[in-house]
């Protein structure tokens, strides 16, 4: 992303007075307060670029907020990405944003799952939580605010992040800005759709089995799942799903992904554990050459699922790019010990979700029913009572053994290159929670074979938008590194971004707005 041309900067200044007064307008009048030039300028920037404009005085935080709101009002009816609006809170927050903060005034969206913003609802995509107002702000959200980001809403998620698709009884279906027949992915599908449509350049996301990487892959974005415990989850919990789940962002630019990791990573007081500290700033890694890397190309699913040709094509394209850059590539297969790793994954995720539901039931003084929870989630909650303490501990130690096995495997490699999924881009209705439990499990077969592995081992993994299939849909490619080694991933990704700049490839919804 580049800084805005002078002509569009003048558009920003010319419309400044209207936008600064937009807080006094009725909601329907906000869009009229923006010029096409100012909106194009907003849409052309990543978060780093927008912050630079604010620091140079070429646009104000108030102007950016109203442009973001206008864009949301223009496209959200078509994609259903933003489920909760915090417009008034964001306008009030303008007075407290530190102008010296790294991302001062950049509009931002939180995922409606697992994080709290005091005074607002986090529904977790669930009717059971639809009216639960947060009494405090999560640590990672405090870090977003300290960075200067202005939170003006939350993005849709399936109930408790239980799908690689974003659909719920509470919020409805989220559609892909590339093609509304396709899923935006899940569970951070609302975040990815919002970024791909240009509502914001970067948005908060979480990942318990692929929920950052699936949506980023399906929406043509960058999606980094950081090392376990790299970013904070407190103060409500020290880890998510026994360490399977973590949080970061989806973005259109690698430099935003790196910068947001710099601004949010690191231990918080009371944390149970944290990974090794980075040697320097992650943004600085983008300028460093990765050297000649030993890259293992893995195309066989550890669970035995057949891998679709679209996914194989994406991996081969990425492999060819890496080879052309001088890296050493080797065809490889994962150790046999990784077969059926989901036997350990399932109980940990099940108990993690059920604990949240149980705590809410205690708050309300009643157990949930069919009018409170999706069909699958209610069945899982009821099933969780049969997971004993010994079973849970065995599963927790099982994923830890996978981490040791992966560490041994990666002694011979610096990076793993894999498909994001055995499946090609999926349609909106391919996954739902409105099924009997056995049918739900059957529908999910062969989806997260590759992604969930990294949640078990705790390693960082990133998906990059390097390939489109014959239907013109993005097919992500996933790279993984050793535990704690986001730096190698970012150096390699930056090298790939230079030779195959994905910023030129964007969703039709965003491209049309920039052209107009």
Active site residue 111: yes
What is the three-class DSSP state of 340?
coil
Question: Which of the residues 60, 183, 187, 507 is marked catalytic?
Answer: 187
E-strand stretches of 142-255: 150-155, 167-168, 172-173, 175-176, 179-183, 202-207, 222-225, 246-251
What is the rounded end-to-end Cα distance, in angstroms, of the chain? 19
211 part of the active site: yes
DSSP, residue by residue, 280-322: S-HHHHTTS---S-EEEE--S-TT-PPPPHHHHHHHHHHHHHH
Look-up of token digits 């509470």: 170
Which of 188, 211, 354, 384 is the catalytic position?
211
Q: Residue 223: which residues within 8 A CB-CB, separation 6 or more?
A: 192, 205, 212, 213, 215, 216, 217, 250, 462, 463, 476
Q: Give the dihedral sign, CA 482/487/490/496.
A: negative
Please tell me which residue in 111, 157, 225, 384 is annotated as part of the active site.
111
Angle among Cα 133, 122, 60 to the nearest 5 degrees reads 95
Q: Using N-to-C axis directions, what is the helix angle for 61-79 and 47-55, rounded to 10°?
A: 150
Residue among 476, 459, 491, 468 nearest 322 (CA): 491
Distance (Å, rounded) from C-alpha 254 to C-alpha 503?
10
Which two tokens mark 292? 């000649």
Active site residues: 111, 187, 211
């Amino acid at each position: 992303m580049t800084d805005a041309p002078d002509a569009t900067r003048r558009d920003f200044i010319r419309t400044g007075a209207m936008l600064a007064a937009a807080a006094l307008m009725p909601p329907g009048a906000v869009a009229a307060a923006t010029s096409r030039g100012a909106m194009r300028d907003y849409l052309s920037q990543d978060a780093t670029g927008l912050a630079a404009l604010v620091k140079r005085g070429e646009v104000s935080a108030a102007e950016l907020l109203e442009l973001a709101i206008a864009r949301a009002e223009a496209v959200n009816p078509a994609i259903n990405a933003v489920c909760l609006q915090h417009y008034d809170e964001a306008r009030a927050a303008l007075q407290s944003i530190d102008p010296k903060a790294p991302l001062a005034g950049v509009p931002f969206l939180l995922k409606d799952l697992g994080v709290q913003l005091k005074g607002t609802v986090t529904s977790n995509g669930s009717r059971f939580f639809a009216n639960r107002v947060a009494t405090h702000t999560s640590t990672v959200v405090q870090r977003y605010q300290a960075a200067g980001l202005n939170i003006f809403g939350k993005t849709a998620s399936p109930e408790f992040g239980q799908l690689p698709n974003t659909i719920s009884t509470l919020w409805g279906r989220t559609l892909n800005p590339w093609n509304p027949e396709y899923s935006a992915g899940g569970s951070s599908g609302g975040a990815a759709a919002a970024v791909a449509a240009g509502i914001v350049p970067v948005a908060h996301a979480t990942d318990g089995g692929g929920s950052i990487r699936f949506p980023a892959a399906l929406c043509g974005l960058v999606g980094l799942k950081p090392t376990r415990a790299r970013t904070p989850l407190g103060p409500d919990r020290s880890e998510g799903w026994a360490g399977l789940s973590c949080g970061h962002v989806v973005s259109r630019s690698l430099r935003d992904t790196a910068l947001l990791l710099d601004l949010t990573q690191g231990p918080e007081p009371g944390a149970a554990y944290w990974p090794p500290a980075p040697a320097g700033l992650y943004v600085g890694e983008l300028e460093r050459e990765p050297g000649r890397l030993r890259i293992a190309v893995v195309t066989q699913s550890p669970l035995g699922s057949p891998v679709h040709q679209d996914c194989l094509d994406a991996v081969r394209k990425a492999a060819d790019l890496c080879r052309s850059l001088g890296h050493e590539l080797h065809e490889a297969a994962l150790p046999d010990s990784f077969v059926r790793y989901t036997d350990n994954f399932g109980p940990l995720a099940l108990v993690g979700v059920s604990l949240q539901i149980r705590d809410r039931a205690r708050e309300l003084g009643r157990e949930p029913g069919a009018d409170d929870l999706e069909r699958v989630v209610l069945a899982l909650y009821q099933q969780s009572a049969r997971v004993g303490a010994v079973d849970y501990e065995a599963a927790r130690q099982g994923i830890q053994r996978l981490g040791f096995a992966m560490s041994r495997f990666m002694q011979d490699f610096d990076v793993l290159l894999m498909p994001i999924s055995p499946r090609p881009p999926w349609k909106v209705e391919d996954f739902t929670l409105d099924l009997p439990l056995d049918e739900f499990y059957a529908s999910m077969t062969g989806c997260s074979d590759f992604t969930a592995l990294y949640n078990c081992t705790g390693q960082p993994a990133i998906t990059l938008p390097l390939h489109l299939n014959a239907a013109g849909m993005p097919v992500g490619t996933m790279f993984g590194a050793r535990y704690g080694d986001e730096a190698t991933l970012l150096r390699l990704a930056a090298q790939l971004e230079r030779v195959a700049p994905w910023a030129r490839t964007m969703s039709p919804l965003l491209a049309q707005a920039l052209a107009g």
